[in-house]
């Protein structure tokens, strides 16, 4: 390992340990922002539903921990890690991440969209931890109540606004990626994650439609997941996009997004591609 790479890995571990000391569960990330450790079940013929019960590392966000010894062990198993992820929705902070992307085309302004939502629904984003991304976007950290799980979503609130909730993770400040370094917005590093405004929390956790929710995932959702799992190489994106469109058209796209993502990953599709495909389906069906 080159000196620069070793220094980057050492700094990533140091940042991760600091986050863990503040009650934030962490995992090592590669320079692509994906979990650095591969699944121990990757060579199994059938998709595994294991979330770490086997005791081996490599279960993504389910490996996240605040225990210093466990954090060191995870990074020791992934010496190529250049950053760390922070699991959302976990005690004690029950972190919610508001990810404001920058649209290089200039057609969508996520910051203005969030301000519009705030004016429309009468809430204010309080001073809180804010992380600047290499692309010019930002991650706003908020804390949620323990009994209200916030789902992950991409573009549901508005174009360019993604939400990281239960089962998701945020790239931690100090992480180095192929596109640059994630940094704290000056003046926010000493702040705790501020409580999520109740009006915004209501937008993030829309009430379920009883009849539609009753059929997910045991009926329609299960069929869509099977459809994705049956994809051969060359069909993965196409099948995932079709399934995601059907899920959003029938009103349970956000609820099924994580399961579809896991199914696509199990077929060999990279996580970032799977999430981008599902986000495209969400935008297309919203436009329709």
Shared domain check, 181 and 263: no
Shared domain check, 16 and 79: yes
Query: Residue 120 burial by CB count (10 A; 0-12/13-18/19+): exposed, middle or buried?
Result: exposed
Residues 6+ apart with CB under 8 A from 87: 24, 25, 26, 27, 61, 64, 95, 168, 169
Shared domain check, 117 and 32: no
Q: Are 78 and 16 in contact (CB under 8 A)?
A: no
Tell me which residue range forms the domain holding 17: 3-87
CA distance 206 to 55: 35
Residue range 113-126, pLDDT digits in tens: 999 999 999 999 99
Shared domain check, 63 and 129: no
**Omega of the bond leading into 118 within 30 degrees of 0 (cis):** no
Can you list the residues of the chain whose pLDDT is less than 70?
A: 1-4, 48, 104-108, 206-220, 285-288
Shared domain check, 62 and 7: yes
Q: Which of 204, 236, 251 is the last residue of a domain?
A: 204
**C-alpha torsion angle, residues 97, 100, 101, 104 (rounded to 10):** -170
Shared domain check, 109 and 71: no
Shared domain check, 48 and 20: yes
Shared domain check, 262 and 180: no
- The model scores a pTM over 0.85: no
Residue 123 is predicted with a pLDDT of 95
Residue range 232-276, pLDDT digits in tens: 777 788 889 888 888 888 888 888 889 899 888 888 888 888 898
> How many domains is the chain built from?
3
Q: Which of 53, 87, 121 is the last residue of a domain?
A: 87
Identify the H or E element spanning 64: none
Shared domain check, 100 and 199: yes
Q: Which of 204, 227, 247 is the last residue of a domain?
A: 204
DSSP 35: B
Tokens of 80: 């190529």
Residue 214 is predicted with a pLDDT of 42
Shared domain check, 184 and 246: no
Tokens of 205: 């956790």
Tokens of 163: 């939400």
User: What residue has token string 């250049």?
Assistant: 82
Shared domain check, 102 and 57: no
Shared domain check, 103 and 82: no
CA distance 156 to 273: 18
DSSP assignments along 142-168, one per residue: EE--TT-PPPPEESSSSTTEEEE-TT-
């Amino acid at each position: 390992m080159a000196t620069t790479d070793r220094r980057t890995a050492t700094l990533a571990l140091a940042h991760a340990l600091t986050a863990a000391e503040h009650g934030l569960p962490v995992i090592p990330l590669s320079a692509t922002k994906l979990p650095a450790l591969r699944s121990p079940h990757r060579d199994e013929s059938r998709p595994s539903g294991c979330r770490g019960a086997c005791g081996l590392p490599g279960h993504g966000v389910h490996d996240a921990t605040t225990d210093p010894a466990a954090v060191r062990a995870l990074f020791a198993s992934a010496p190529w890690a250049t950053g760390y992820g922070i699991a959302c929705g976990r005690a004690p902070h029950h972190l919610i991440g508001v990810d404001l992307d920058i649209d290089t085309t200039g057609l969508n302004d996520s910051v203005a969209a969030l301000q519009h939502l705030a004016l429309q629904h009468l809430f204010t984003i309080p001073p809180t931890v804010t992380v600047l991304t290499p692309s010019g976007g930002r991650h706003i950290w908020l804390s949620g109540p323990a009994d209200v799980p916030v789902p992950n979503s991409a573009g549901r609130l508005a174009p360019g606004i993604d939400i990281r909730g239960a089962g998701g993770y945020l790239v931690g400040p100090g992480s180095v990626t192929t596109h640059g370094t994630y940094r704290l917005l000056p003046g926010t590093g000493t702040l705790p994650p501020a409580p999520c405004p109740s009006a915004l929390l209501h937008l993030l956790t829309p009430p379920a439609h009883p009849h539609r929710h009753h059929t997910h995932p045991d009926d329609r959702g299960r069929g869509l997941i099977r459809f994705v799992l049956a994809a051969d190489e060359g069909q993965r994106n196409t099948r995932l996009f079709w399934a995601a469109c059907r899920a959003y058209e029938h009103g349970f796209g956000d609820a099924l997004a994580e399961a579809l993502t896991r199914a696509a990953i199990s077929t060999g599709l990279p996580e970032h591609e799977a999430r981008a495909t599902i986000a495209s389906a969400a935008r297309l069906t919203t436009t329709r």
